[in-house]
Amino acid sequence: MIVLENLTKRYGAFTAVSGLDLEIGESQIFGLLGPNGAGKTTTLRMIAGILRPDAGRVIVAGHDNVLDPMEARRSLGFVPDRPFVYDKLTGAELLRFSAGLFGLRGPAVENRIDELLELWDLVPWKDQLVESYSHGMRQKLIISSALIHRPRVLVVDEPMVGLDPRSAWLLKDVLRTFADGGGTVLVSTHTLELAESLCDRLAVIDRGKVVASGSIDDLRRAARSEAAGLEEIFLKITRGATDSTIARVVGQ
Amino acid sequence: MSVGREYVLLLAPKVLSTRRRGAAGRGRWGRAVMVLGVGAAAWPFIYVTLTRLLRVLREVEEVGPLLASKLLALGLLVFLGILLLSNLIAALSSFFLSKDLPWIRAAPVDWLSVYLSRLTETLVSSSWMVLLMLVPMLAAYATVYRGGWEFVALSVAAVVPFLVIPAAVGSAITLLLVRLFPARRSRDILGIIAVAAVGLVVLLLRVLRPERLVNPESYRNLVDFMAALRGPSSPWLPSQWGADVLAGFLQGGLDPFLLILLWTTAAGTVTVGAVLHHTLYASCFTKAQEGNENRIRRHAGWVWLERAVSRISLQRQQLVLKDVRIFFRDTTQWSQLIILGVLVVVYVYNMRVLPLASGEMITRYLITLVVFLNLALSGFVLAAIAARFVFPALSLEGQTLWLLRSAPLDAGTLIGAKYWVGAVPLTALAILLTGVTNHLLGVPAALAILSLVSTVALSLAFTAQALAWGVYYPEFESENAAQIPTSIGGLLFMLGAVINLGIVLAVQVFILRGFLASGLPGREPRDPWLWEVGLALAATLLCCTAAAVFPYQAAVRRLEELEA
């Protein structure tokens, strides 16, 4: 469902993503891990068609997103890392607008809006301006917006930020159900617990390149830590700060 | 920490941000050139015009000096109205809506330093434009009446309290309005301000009737006219005190009591403002944060709009509805709309009271000149409005552009929606400005049609150009829509629009030169021939169509390549 071939993105002299190759199939939740500035968000924004790659290809549901962008986007729902939406629209208006962008309207859209808002406990906020929503509520609204047109592929950047424990649990359930129904989920996250419990496959990227990928067992082997949890594996692969450095910087 | 140090500390982020905004960024040169360009054009214009007028008035015995001081009082009165209005709006933002307020409220800072720093912020953001206009105006008085450095010092002493009073009064009124309107009802508050502002301007014009001062025949006799000139128009207002202090000094009769009155009133209003702030601000701020009144009800206007756009494609329909909704719900846009409304009222009123319309003084040649002048002025006003409201259209998508870019939406649809959202109101305004003023001036039908079609064509072209420059030079980082037109793209748009307007005017004057010359003294006056008007119309439409189509296509192409 998602194929990345030699995907590259440069900002001036800085290469944010360098020759990335990935293939993610149907009914799969794929986690993208990596330290800050590793190129995760840039990769996801290229898949969503927001950024144009300098080299390589992105195929979404069989459509090249440069050569056939409209069809590629029609199959995709995107949730960005920061929940910026139009503050001066109400929740229902935003979802109606989003559906309209995908060419949907009428009673079916109204029903879909109601069921999505009900899923996230946002019904009382339906006719309130988004500016009065909390961070977590905005996040839920954006996830609803990504699901409004029943996409086949979901690309989610940092989904857990701002969500309360119940909503976080619900989101995991939503993503699992989506994948079990034949959908593909690509999720970028710093929440290693989420990645460990939810993702079928993972890739760790650092400085724009994949440094390890596969199932959690594959990553354990790559980090040479057979019994380790994902946190330890991640730190080993990405070479986190040493204890002595931490003690020096924040020690009393 | 002392109140003084806290005051400086609280203002420091604003000063640093302003300085950095001016010193860095892509729009730096654009802003610098624009400010210098406007300054270079406006200052000499105000100074030279006023100096000439004052010199003429000085030569008129008895009445001249009285008219000069009356003119100063009138100018200051208009400034006082503008200051009060802009302080009301700025205070709403700086005292209640600013994003750093929760942070400051949570810090152990004295209430007086918060009040004084926010009052200073309100004062500076509302008054700098008026101050810029005052400088050449007072310089003209100083030159004609040989005021010298003493006049400069006296001007500073009079202008400072003149600016402080409306800032303190405006902030206090805003505080009381927020107190009266529970929760975040800033739209209601601005609605009241809007009605009050337009009402105030109309009332001022009706009561003062400034046109009568240049038309002494409207008085029963000379004694009435002199009495009207001598008497203060508004003895209770600081603008009159300021004018009396300055004109009195220049004409040899300084009244220090009025200067003391200005300063004590300034101190008094700040003190009352501080007491009100101390008593009410905490509860008002809490109410302003509640945000319980954000529930939106569908009223008749929205239903009508939804019906009006129901025939266009679904994507375009949703984009238009979204832009219109956001515009009318955004209070920062409202303040500009209020000023625009006031300007239109003043513009139309001025056309109505022009002596041209009074009958016997009218000449065909003068009317024709005024028609072209009206076209030039309305064209410039429309370009300025397009710069303010259409140019930022794409930039304002800013951080929400991801939603549009990740949807199956082509660039043409997005640009088309933005174009019509800008073009329809701009064209309506063009028709209002030209149609009403032509009717008031009694312009012959052929010329009226020519000028009406020209302003409509220009507004359609300006919309496309504003949109194109906005796509080529987007300002995605800007939080304030009012700042976006001051970027390099905004400057380039204004230059292009003025050139477009100049070409249209030049072409029309060239085609109609035979008719225009017929109005000169000693020639046989005639009406314009039909083919002349037809040719002028065709040339205008051709020119404006080209000036609309090419930028529109360029905007679509550029948006396809744009990353955000």
Pairing of strands A28-33, A201-206: parallel
The DSSP line for B24-47 is SSTTHHHHHHHHHHHHHHHHHHHH
Same domain, residue pair A174 and A233: yes
**What pLDDT shows up at residue B229?**
58
The tens digit of pLDDT for each residue in B456-469 reads: 999 999 999 999 99
Q: Which residues of A touch B330 (CB under 8 A)?
A: 88
Please name which of B193, B197, B181 lies closest in space to residue B96, comparing C-alpha atoms.
B181
Q: How crowded is the C-beta side of B266, counted as CA atoms within 13 Å?
A: 21
Residues A65 and A173 in one domain: yes
Which residue of A lies nearest to B313 if distances are taken between CA atoms?
A: A103
Query: Model pTM?
Result: 0.72
Q: Rounded to an integer, what distance in angstroms lies between the CA atom of residue B133 and that of residue B159?
A: 12
Whole-number Å distance between alpha carbons of A113 and A147:
10
Q: Would you give the DSSP letter of residue B111?
A: H
The verdict on A170 and A232 lying in the same domain is yes
Last residue of a domain, one of A124, A150, A176: A150
* Percent of chain A residues topping a pLDDT of 70: 94
How many residues are recorded in chain B? Answer: 564
Locus of tokens 């990405």: A238
Distance from CA of B263 to the nearest CA of A (A): 42
DSSP 3-state of B221: coil
pLDDT at B414: 93
pLDDT tens, B397-448?
888 888 888 899 999 999 999 999 999 999 999 998 888 888 887 788 888 8
Same domain, A156 and A231: yes
**Residues of chain A found within 8 Å of residue B406, distances taken between Cβ atoms:** 48-50, 73, 76, 78
Residues A61 and A110 in one domain: no
Distance CA B514, CA A227 (A): 96
**Any B CB within 8 A of A28 CB:** no
Quote the domain boundaries for residue A228.
2-75+152-250
Shared domain for A175 and A241, answered yes or no, is yes
| Residue finishing a domain among A114, A135, A150 | A150
Segment among A147-156, A222-231, B252-261 with least mean pLDDT? A222-231
Q: Compute the average pLDDT of residues B166-173.
A: 93
Looking at residue A122, its pLDDT comes to 93
The C-alpha of B107 sits at a distance from chain A's nearest C-alpha, in angstroms, of 23
- Identify whether residues A111 and A146 lie together within a single domain: yes
Residue A7 has pLDDT above 80, yes or no: yes
Name the DSSP class of A205: E
Q: Which of A150, A169, A203 is the last residue of a domain?
A: A150
Mean pLDDT along residues B506-531: 82
Query: Which tens digit of pLDDT belongs to each residue from B436-459?
Result: 888 887 788 888 899 999 999 999
Domain count, chain A: 2
**Are A102 and A172 part of one and the same domain?**
no
DSSP A155-197: EEESTTTT--HHHHHHHHHHHHHHHHTT-EEEEE-S-HHHHHH
In A, minimum Cα distance to B563 occurs at A51
Residue A105 shares a structural domain with residue A63: no
Which chain B residues are within 8 Å of A128, Cβ to Cβ? 294-296
Pairwise CA distance, residues A110 & B493, whole Å: 42
- Shared domain for A41 and A58, answered yes or no, is yes
List the single residue in B398, B399, B409 with the smallest CB-CB distance to A101.
B409
Q: State yes or no: pLDDT of B507 exceeds 90.
A: yes
- How confident is the model at residue B335, as a pLDDT? 64
Contact call for residues A185 and A28 (beta carbons, < 8 A): yes
Q: How many CB atoms lie within 10 A of CB A25?
A: 12
- Residue A161 sits in the same domain as residue A61: yes
Q: Rounded to 5 degrees, what angle do the CA atoms B259, B264, B269 make?
A: 130
Report the distance separating Cα B136 and Cα B179, nearest Å. 40
For residue A13, give every residue at least 6 positions away whose Cβ sits within 8 Å of its Cβ, in sequence order, or none. none
| Pair A146, A207 in one domain | no
Tokens of residue B463, six digits = 């919309």
- Residue B360: pLDDT band with limits 50, 70, 90: very low
Q: What's the CATH code of the domain at A231?
A: 3.40.50.300
Query: Would you call A96 and B297 a contact, using CB atoms and an 8 Å cutoff?
Result: no
Please state the separation of Cα A46 from the chain's center in Å.
12
Maximum Cα interatomic distance, chain A, rounded to a whole number of Å: 62
